[in-house]
Structure 1
Amino acid sequence: MSLPLRSPGGRLSSRAADALVAGVVLLVVAVWTLLSAGDASEPAVRTVLGWGLVLVGCGALYFRRRQPVGVAVATLLACVVYYPLSAQDGPLMIAFALALYTTAAEGRFAAAVALAAVTLLAVGVGEVRQQPGHRQIDDTSLAMLAGWLISLVAVGRAQRTRIAYLHEVEQRALAAEREQEARARQSATEERLRIAREVHDVLGHSISLINVQSGAALHRLGKGPAAEAGLVTATEALEAVKATSKDALRELRATLGVLRGADEPTPTAPPLSGLALLGDLAGRARSAGLDVRTESTGTPVALPPSVDLAAYRIVQESLTNVTRHAGARSVRVSLDWGPEAVRLRIEDDGGGAPEGRPQDSGTARPPGSGIRGMAERARALGGELTAENVDGGGFLVDARLPLTAPALTEGDPR
């Protein structure tokens, strides 16, 4: 199988680069050997063997990154045979130097140190065994060779450390980027869920009331009352529908305002809903035929906007469920203000939930989106909410919300 000469980024592939390095080293060694040979003469067999060793030593560099220790050993053996054999005395040590550096740079530090020590020891022993006056390397050159070998190993180790550091930095940058993308996706998901919950609470409550009011008016008109009485009935129903739809539009504009761009003007609408508007909420439920009673114990305090809105939405969704599903005649909304939390209890006298239908978000089967949304609101603020049938009939939503909102973090759904 043919190997690509270039990587997808436009650079040479690792094998093409290794082939290029081996070719350049072979060219340098060959030219240097030819220029330095001069009038040196030797048998043709030795010349052929010498050039063969040059080809083997330089050609082995092609595999230097895949088999660094084996290539270093091969180039060292080529030098050991080449220098005593050939009279041309070319710079084949360049191939060994590069192989030794690569061994250290590829993380084989112990092998690189061992090869350097063996090389220095072999040269030293060879020079000691020479006859006086026939030494090829003096003591100064031997010390320089030792420094040269140590430098090659040290530079290779430093390069290895640098590459490992750059790789770690790159991995950290990639991990940080992935984490940032995950946080952005989570934040967007939580924001979509928050908006969906707001729209569900606003529209679900208001449209349910409009449906009940319209249905009640049509039922009374269907009984065929006198024209004047029918007009009064229709007028009352239309006024209730108008007021309910107006409130729904106001809250919907405020909710959808979070979707507007930062450079767009925000709508001039009243503040978001809160417990201060609990009386209006109860009044709209009364217009649908429910007897809504509100009571408060303890000393009311100013709530953070997030807690205030959550309390209002819990009452609103509970009244919506009573209007749509309970078949109740009366509802009692109780607020108990404590030193650390406010407790909300919304209890009706209807038929309750069907047997076996889960109402608490902690049950095995998933509850409806309304109750699940209320429970999520309470948990997001560090509170809790339960919803269950009442003995003797009726249904109870019991929520506890802290008087102080927790610190907001990035991607907080509130």
Structure 2
Amino acid sequence: MKKADLLSTLFVGIDVSSRENVVCALDYESQKLLRFSVPNNQPGAVEMAKKFHALLYGNRELNKLIVALESTSFYGIHIANYLSSCELLMPFSPHVYCLNPKMIANYKRSFIDLGKNDDIDAFVIADFARVGRIQSSPWRGSQFLALQRLTRHRLHIADFLTREKTYMLSNIFLKFSELSILHEDKQPFSNKYGATASSVLTDFLSTEDIANMPMEVLVDHICHKGKNRFVDPKHTVSLLQQAARNSYRLDKCLYEPLTISIASSFNLISAYEAEMKAINKAIAKTLLGLDPNAYQSLLSIPGVGPVYTAGILAEIGSIDAFKSQDALAKYAGLVWRENQSGNFKADDTILSKAGNSYLRYYLIEAASHVKNHIPEYAAFYQKKYDEVKTHQHKRALALTARKFIRLIFGLLANHQLYSSSRVSQS
């Protein structure tokens, strides 16, 4: 921003909480022109906009507005949406920024003996904007917010689903110890959480019931539950009964509580999976209202399906918000802090992780799939894996995700589909 623009800009810092928004407004000379608090609701937002309008309208030297607030949970979403699209403020070209709290905390340390309260925090945020430290893009409004809420909710459900499956395995080990630890080639069921496995673990009270049951009866049972999809049901039953015979025996009083617990977990897993399907449909529907070209660009990358495409687009928004792939990597927190002093330069550097954790998750997960479909990424992953002896997989995957960002930026910025020939990644 040119100095003339800085001199004519009102810099506003907002300390956001669930109940109220504390506001501090500065000019370029650091004079406090406004200092007030309003409730964090619609009337409070309207009052805030009116105060900004009155100050800007009555001061001919100020004709631009920059508003900064910390990106703390979801409490700042409403006020950021309102101020960025408020008609009353449009003549002053409002730019609203949601800032990383770590950046504000680090900037605050530059002040000596500065206390801690909401007024001070609002002043620090406003001053951070005044000195030109903001490097992120302005608030993009609610265009991608709907998709973002769906993709984040899907991740929320996926976490619960994974946790429930992991928890249930402990109860399965107690009731049917051998079934939970068998190698894949010895497993009677390809899906531990499928309908047939669920039936065996909940319809039969103990492993002795399974081990002692006539093979023909058990074959009929699994064929019915598995809808006759088993290629060799007798072999499946043989593996199942062998696992039952090799399992620990329990006191009879334990079988019923374990069976009830396992059945409850299966019910929860079924419910979570049903919700995941519903969310996936909602995500697909919401994507139709956004940029179809960006969606098709990412979907064309081998290994990147609709879920990861939606998650990445929801967190990135418009690629025009980023000047380069380096800016996108920084936003995702996939950058490494340099550790150098004099002639010393450390080989072991730390991943920043100061960016958007949701975007970082989707990029890393997508990169994990891409390396299994694109030889170039598989070779790069293996090269990075072989370079060190500790944290090999995590390091190699993070670096592969960083390389993947260049591909994403190139495709989106140039409106391209993926091709095995070289894609512009500048």
Q: Greater RCO between the two (CA within 8 Å, min separation 6)?
A: 2
Larger Rg: 1
Q: If the length of structure 1 is used for normalisation, what is the TM-score?
A: 0.23
Q: Which has the higher helix share?
A: 1
